A and B are shown apart, each in its own frame.
Chain A
Amino acid sequence: MERFVQLHLLTAYPPANLNRDDLGRPKTALMGGAERLRISSQSLKRAWRTSDLFQEKLKGHLGTRTKRMGEEIFHRLVQGGIAEKQAREWTRQIATVFGKLKKSKDDGSIEALHIEQLAHFSPEEQTAIDTLVQRLIETKQGPSAEDLNLLRERHSAADIALFGRMLADVPRFNTEAACQVAHAITVHKVAVEDDFYTAVDDLNRGEEDVGAGHMGETEFGAGLFYLYLCLDRELLLKNLGGDAKLAERTVEALVASAATVAPTGKQNSFASRARASYILCERGDTQPRSLSVAFLKPVEAGSKGLLANAVEALEDERRRLDSAYGDGDSDAVAMNTLTGQGSLADILAYAKGGLADG
């Protein structure tokens, strides 16, 4: 299996303010001596991870969400012959690992075994809970501090497998992100524009004052963005405990959301949702590199238009880079909405190709 999958996407956003700085201005960056619009990788990843598409594709692997795990544990302990009072106490000890208990004192109600918020239980955690409950029944001993720690060590949460997790105070829960996402940058020079707007007061009949009820200003920009992602498929597989089927679904969720999900910033004001017009997907083992150098010289619209010129610049640069360094991955597939070449389905199939072979 080739280790790396590299994705190069070109997505055109109409006027938008998707990712803002502390002044509410769209984020920018300098590249090739020209100002570009920028969307931070953090903003992109959040939009993908919280999208319906991502949730839908990975259903069941983002864990079970419930407040009622305690109730289940309690019933099973009682069925296993543990006295009710003991069972309640142990249940509350286990449930508190996953969230704040609904009631600080045990008043004997079912709610006192519930936690306040919905918690995610991964398949591994479910198994760990089952094992622990079984052991409590057999030994008739309450859970030790160590028993309670074990519950959360292993998980198959696809979002963590992709985007990682660093917990300074509990390093054993750390997971190295399998997916690297660069900041998206426009392929062309951009001037951030001001939109001066007024709002009329509906109840002002214009008898005394015909002025606006409110004036404001909002900054925006439009552009064709280059986005680069690199996925380490071996690491993904490892993070998911070797589950190739789940890894395939995770790759699909990642690629499909990168292609179709826009950051949510100011969408109500701009409705700037967009899909990738062009995707190039490379698979291989040589050192991954973004193709942003193709856009060091800002792309111009010319007679062929911005998108066609950007695609040409990208594909040319890839060929030139590979021949200069002599180590490129010759294999790749592309989707281009301008020419009708390829489809997202082709990209998905290619990106996950070979994963199941290990």
Chain B
Amino acid sequence: MAELLLFQLYGPLASWGEPAVGEYRPSATHPGKSQIAGLLGAALGLTRDREEELAALAGGYGLAVRIDAEGELLRDYHTTQVPPARRGRTFTTRAEELAVDDLYTILSQRDYRVEAAWTCVLWATASAPYPLADLAEALRRPRFTLYLGRKSCPPALPLRPELIDSATLKDAFAGYPLDDRLGWLKRPERHRYFWEEPLPDGLASGFTAQEKLWVVPRRDRPGSRRRWQFATRDEHHAMA
């Protein structure tokens, strides 16, 4: 048996961005390590400049995710007026930027997931900076606003953090059903699961060899935020 923290993620829009900057900002099908670490950091009130503590959050907990509803892709067309970059000129307000005569427009495409919901499971590793119960309390009464990948994507349900003991991931997920309000969402017959290894002592994945699919590296482990660096992490997939 291992102690696990479960919580749900649902909002009308969510965006689990890949480490891309520039014209096209894609979204993954489910939240990654950096986004969940960011969510916990916001709940605990860690500002973005506290890189070491944020790294400890990302490194201190294992993550598993179930896609409750896959939803659809929404591609948002986005225009922004910006002044040309000039040496020695830093704009401190948006109003100041817009006062410039030679504004030009930059285009970008941002992907969102709509009609989608997720359940997350966390477990503590030896280096966990907080007990799971503290994380649960922080999610109930967060210090900063929480969001699903982008600030414009607020959660539309409480995260419902729950602590349980379980022998397998599969059982833990099974004991945490989708909120009744989301009965409208189109749910798959078989859910997709993602988790990282090693699992803690006393916890098995619980998925059979037939249910297990593949192991895929994902570049979502936060390195330096300032330099926008991410390391890879192996994600185990299953369908059950």
Identify which of B89, B92, B157, B182 contacts A155 (C-beta below 8 A): B92
Residues 181-202 of B contacting A (Cβ, < 8 Å)? 181-182, 184, 186
Chain B residues with CB under 8 Å of A290's CB are: 11-12, 154-156
Whether B140 pairs with A180 at a CB distance below 8 angstroms is no
In angstroms, Cα B11 to Cα A338, docked, is 28
In angstroms, Cα B226 to Cα A174, docked, is 11
Chain A residues with CB under 8 Å of B159's CB are: 287
In angstroms, Cα B100 to Cα A157, docked, is 18
Residues 105-163 of A contacting B (Cβ, < 8 Å)? 117-120, 122, 125, 152, 155, 157, 159-160, 163
Would you call the interface of chain B mostly helix, strand, loop, or mixed? Answer: loop
In angstroms, Cα B88 to Cα A152, docked, is 12
Whether A171 pairs with B184 at a CB distance below 8 angstroms is no
Whether A181 pairs with B92 at a CB distance below 8 angstroms is no
**Tally of contact residues, A, Cβ under 8 A:** 68
**Tally of contact residues, B, Cβ under 8 A:** 53
In angstroms, Cα B12 to Cα A164, docked, is 23
Q: Is B142 on the interface with A (CB-CB < 8 A)?
A: yes
Identify which of B94, B158, B184 contacts A289 (C-beta below 8 A): B158
Chain A residues with CB under 8 Å of B140's CB are: 286-287, 327
Whether A30 pairs with B72 at a CB distance below 8 angstroms is yes
Identify which of A65, A117, A288 contacts B100 (C-beta below 8 A): A117
Q: Is A232 on the interface with B (CB-CB < 8 A)?
A: yes
In angstroms, Cα B94 to Cα A173, docked, is 13
Chain B residues with CB under 8 Å of A32's CB are: 115, 184
Please report A residues at the B interface, Cβ cutoff 8 Å. Answer: 3-4, 21-22, 27, 29-33, 40-42, 49-50, 62-63, 65, 96-100, 117-120, 122, 125, 152, 155, 157, 159-160, 163-165, 167-168, 170-171, 173-174, 176-177, 180-183, 185, 228, 230, 232, 235, 285-293, 296-297, 321, 325, 327
Please report B residues at the A interface, Cβ cutoff 8 Å. Answer: 10-13, 47-48, 72, 74, 76-78, 80, 86, 88-90, 92-96, 98-101, 107, 114-115, 139-147, 151-160, 181-182, 184, 186, 226, 228
Chain A to chain B contacts (Cβ below 8 Å), 20 pairs: A3-B143, A31-B115, A32-B115, A33-B115, A33-B184, A41-B152, A63-B96, A97-B90, A119-B99, A120-B92, A120-B99, A122-B93, A159-B94, A160-B93, A163-B94, A177-B151, A288-B146, A292-B156, A296-B181, A325-B158
A63-B93, A167-B90, A290-B12 known; 20 new pairs, CB 8 Å cut-off, are: A22-B77, A22-B107, A33-B184, A62-B95, A118-B99, A122-B93, A155-B93, A170-B90, A180-B145, A180-B147, A180-B154, A182-B153, A286-B141, A287-B139, A287-B142, A289-B155, A290-B154, A290-B156, A297-B184, A325-B160
